Structure 1
Amino acid sequence: MMTTPARKRRRTPAKTQTWSSPRLEEWGLSQGQQRLLAVVGSVAGVLVAAVVLTFVIGSMSSDFVPERATAAAISTQPRPEAYKGWVSPKLFAPIARSKADPAPLTLKDVFAEKVLKEGRTTLKLAATKMDADCSAVVWGQGLADQLAQAGCTQAARGVYTDGRHVAQYTLLNLRDTASADGLVQSLTTMHRGGWTLLLESGRARFPIGGYTEASGHAMGHYVGLVWIGRADGAEPGAKDDFVSLSLAVRGAEKAVFRRVVAAGPAPAP
């Protein structure tokens, strides 16, 4: 008996490219602002960057070999067991130097949203704080010294929780991209003996000695530090989506993208 050959599916025609990106719309950027980002780095570049960011966060819990803390660096302060740093993409070239982006950060800008969502993850903001003395928000003399050398003028911290997890985001305002790149790379080993202090909150706290993961992201003259873990300190299990957790807390970076738009060139007529 002859069998009827399987019918081939027709490929759906590619949609016409537009200036709209759902991710950037979620971050509060109008189509005009998205067009300006296209002038800065091209819309394709923005979308690729978003994909890369997703992959970067995903790699934290998958295939990269983390730097582990050692007994020689035992501290009474909680710190990440695993860390990965990422230098600044070209997208952030308009804010490569703080002189091109002189307006100071505000808590209202960085932590405007009290609830952050990504997939099935929903984080609620538990506490925020802005410090002009960057050395006051870290422990470890080496890290404090590097922040001083990098010309750090502000450190904005926000801590979130969903009851099961804790996530802290720290945004550092440095001198330039070179300083930001140097910091995220140095933390690959420096995090063993120095890290950000956990912002005190009665609802969200990392237990000392518990397992946590972190990543550092240079964005022009800014550095964003993501720090996540379970509230009980246990390592992530099947019910713990650290990828979505990391992406959710990075919603605070909307403020940095808006500064790229503000500092970028006017769109061509």
Structure 2
Amino acid sequence: MRWVGVVVAGAFLGAGCSVVAGDPRPQVFRAESSSAIYEAIVSREVDPEPLAVGEVFGKDTLSFGAVQMKRGQSFVSGNCAEAVWGNPPLQGCTQVLRAVYSADGVSGQFAIFNLADSGAADRLVQAFRKDAFLKLAPGQPAIAGGSAQGRALGHYAVVSWVAAVGDEKPDLTDPLLAVDSVSQFLQTRLLKAG
């Protein structure tokens, strides 16, 4: 049921991409607060196991529709501030995992922040609306604009972001949904905690 809302929202995402000077941010951003579905992982107290790269980025290729996004480099860090610009609320963040994805004319990034609780995850996602956003990942081509969504899923904040590379004008709906599918690994955490 949850994916229906994502698909409907995705239908409104355009290909808009404008490379701008300064800190990159998406042209279209959708934010979602945590819901009761993620109550079993509402805090690190009930879900203490750190995230592992293999757990989060287990697939080399993500598909949605006709689009296949191939995973490039992935990164894990205990310094959450190095992944963002601006001054987002990162108190209690113990790790951030990011990976770069690409397809013809599109570059994307998925990031997950391991925060203390769902309130902290909600605050971080809301800060990404205007006060802060992801930095480009090492090795990612220079992009800005495009489409992104941030969601608080229990004590995790996830961000999926895709944009056109150069002068390309692809439809970004399917690439965004492909990159966002990384977050499905949290279903396993829910089952273990529940």
- TM-score calculated relative to the size of structure 1: 0.66
In structure 2, the partner of 1:57 is 10
Residues 205-254 of structure 1: per-residue CA shift (max 9 Å, x gap): 133xx4322211110111111111011155x4xxx232211110012112
**3-state SS, counterpart of residue 160 of structure 2:** strand
Is 1:205 the counterpart of 2:146? The answer is: no
Q: Please state which structure has a larger fraction of its residues in strand.
A: 2
Residues 65-89 of structure 1: per-residue CA shift (max 9 Å, x gap): xxxxxxxxx8533222222211113
Q: Structure 1 vs Structure 2: percent identity of aligned residues?
A: 27
Letter of the 1:248 counterpart: A
In structure 2, the partner of 1:188 is 129
Q: 1:241, 1:247 → 2: CA distance?
A: 12
In structure 2, the partner of 1:125 is 71
Letter of the 2:136 counterpart: L
Q: 1:49, 1:116 → 2: CA distance?
A: 19
Shift of 1:56: 3.1
In structure 1, the partner of 2:49 is 103
In structure 2, the partner of 1:162 is 103
In structure 1, the partner of 2:189 is 259
Letter of the 1:147 counterpart: L
In structure 2, the partner of 1:24 is none
In structure 2, the partner of 1:44 is none
Q: Between Structure 1 and Structure 2, how many residues are aligned? A: 191
**3-state SS, counterpart of residue 100 of structure 1:** coil
Q: 1:171, 1:118 → 2: CA distance?
A: 20
Gaps of 5+ in 2: none
Q: 1:61, 1:54 → 2: CA distance?
A: 13
**3-state SS, counterpart of residue 152 of structure 1:** coil
- TM-score calculated relative to the size of structure 2: 0.90
In structure 1, the partner of 2:150 is 216
Q: 1:61, 1:163 → 2: CA distance?
A: 16
Q: Is 1:92–1:260's contact at 8 Å kept on the other side of the alignment?
A: yes
Q: Is 1:118–1:245's contact at 8 Å kept on the other side of the alignment?
A: yes
Q: 1:187, 1:53 → 2: CA distance?
A: 18
Residue of structure 2 aligned with 1:113, choices 59, 71, 76: 59
Q: Please state which structure has a larger fraction of its residues in helix.
A: 1
Aligned-residue RMSD, C-alpha: 2.0
1:233–1:82 Cα change, 3 Å = farther
Is 1:152 the counterpart of 2:93? The answer is: yes
Bigger RCO (CA 8 Å, 6+ sep): 2
